[in-house]
């Protein structure tokens, strides 16, 4: 196991240099051109015709005339002399970092993958083909659109690593993710950003208001918890056993987490005082009442 780990570390270091800084290593390994690659790999040469990745194999593409297929697989001179997976970037055997760095050689220049290396997926060594490889190498060579290479629906892909969320979305009250009326990527930027849990934001606003705009404000009288703790202070974002996806089964129990010192005439033992929102109807914010009556 230790020997395998050492070899993987060595390959990561080698291919990182090949992809990032040409220098002496590239001088030893020369580009041979896509035509020569197609001589041994005619199936892949056929698949790539008309695909979006064909541009990478053109002289004007990201390879800049340096060999087409080698834009992703690295210089092929040593591989031509002695065909083996060990002297070319072979995505079947490379560690995740080598695989996603090969993709980022082109894709890191544009949104949405611009910040991939800063995201949790890169830190967790999740390679692109973990989600984008429906038919392995063939998928990437004949790709016409992003959906062509997805391994499954978005929930299926996310549950592969985030199995606990499958249970959340099976609860009685949840966002409609299973039928993809909403999607994980609607709230999370899966390709990386600067926010905790890869949450998408709209300026400084909570993610939730992109759909729940009536809760957005600004209000003259704001509920402070929405600014301090955000929506998740009261609601479970993925799913809950409680109505309105609340964190507590009863409304007054949720409110009492912050409002323990209720007025003397509020006898919480009486049912009339156990549904706070009957009176405080504008609980997310109000323009007329600091007590959220209107």
Sketch the domain layout of the chain as residue ranges. 8-126+137-141, 154-198, 212-286
pLDDT score at 169: 92
pLDDT score at 246: 95
Judge whether residue 71 has pLDDT over 90.
Answer: no
The mean pLDDT of 86-115, rounded to a whole number, is 82
pLDDT score at 3: 42
Judge whether residue 9 has pLDDT over 60.
Answer: no
DSSP 227: H
> Comparing C-alpha atoms, which of 199, 180, 177 is closest to residue 190?
199
Note if the pTM is more than 0.85: no
- pLDDT tens, position by position, 106-151: 887 766 677 888 888 888 888 888 888 766 777 778 777 666 667 7
Q: From CA 155, how far away is CA 166, in angstroms rounded?
A: 8
Q: Is the dihedral of CA 246, 248, 251, 253 positive or negative?
A: negative
Other CB atoms closer than 10 Å to residue 221's CB: what's the count?
15
Q: From CA 252, how far away is CA 268, in angstroms rounded?
A: 8
Which of the four pLDDT bands, split at 50, 70 and 90, describes residue 286? very high
Q: From CA 163, how far away is CA 160, in angstroms rounded?
A: 6
Other CB atoms closer than 10 Å to residue 72's CB: what's the count?
21
pLDDT score at 37: 85
Q: From CA 13, how far away is CA 20, in angstroms rounded?
A: 11
The mean pLDDT of 255-266, rounded to a whole number, is 88
Q: From CA 44, how far away is CA 36, in angstroms rounded?
A: 12
Judge whether residue 248 has pLDDT over 50.
Answer: yes
The mean pLDDT of 158-170, rounded to a whole number, is 91
Dihedral (Cα; 151, 153, 155, 160), 10-degree rounding: -20
Other CB atoms closer than 10 Å to residue 101's CB: what's the count?
23
pLDDT score at 23: 41
- pLDDT tens, position by position, 40-62: 888 888 888 877 777 666 655 44
- pLDDT tens, position by position, 171-226: 999 999 988 788 898 899 888 888 888 888 765 567 888 888 888 888 999 998 88
């Amino acid at each position: 196991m230790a020997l395998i780990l050492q070899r993987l570390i060595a390959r990561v270091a080698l291919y990182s240099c090949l992809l990032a800084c040409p220098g002496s290593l590239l001088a030893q390994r020369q580009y041979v051109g896509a035509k020569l690659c197609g001589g041994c790999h005619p199936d892949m040469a056929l698949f790539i015709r008309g695909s979006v990745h064909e541009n990478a194999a053109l002289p004007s593409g990201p390879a800049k005339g340096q060999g087409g297929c080698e834009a992703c697989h690295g210089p092929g001179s040593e591989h031509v002399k002695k065909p083996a997976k060990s002297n070319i970037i072979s995505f079947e055997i490379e560690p995740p970092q080598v695989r996603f760095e090969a993709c980022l050689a082109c894709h890191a220049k544009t949104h949405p993958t611009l910040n991939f290396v800063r995201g949790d997926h890169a830190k967790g060594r999740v390679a692109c083909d973990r989600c984008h490889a429906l038919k392995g190498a063939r998928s990437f060579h004949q790709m016409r659109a992003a959906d062509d290479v997805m391994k499954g629906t978005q929930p299926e892909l996310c549950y592969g690593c985030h199995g606990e969320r499958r249970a959340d979305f099976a609860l009685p009250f949840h966002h409609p993710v299973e039928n993809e009326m909403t999607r994980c990527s609607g709230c999370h930027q899966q390709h990386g950003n600067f926010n905790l849990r890869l949450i998408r934001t709209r300026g400084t606003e909570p993610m939730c208001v992109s759909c729940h705009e009536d809760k957005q404000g600004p209000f003259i009288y704001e509920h402070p918890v929405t600014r301090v703790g955000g929506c998740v202070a009261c609601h479970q974002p993925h799913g809950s056993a409680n109505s309105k996806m609340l964190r507590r089964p009863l409304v007054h129990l949720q409110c009492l987490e912050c409002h323990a010192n209720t007025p003397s005439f509020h006898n919480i033992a009486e049912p009339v005082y156990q549904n706070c929102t009957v009176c405080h109807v504008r609980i997310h914010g109000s323009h007329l009442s600091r007590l959220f009556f209107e």
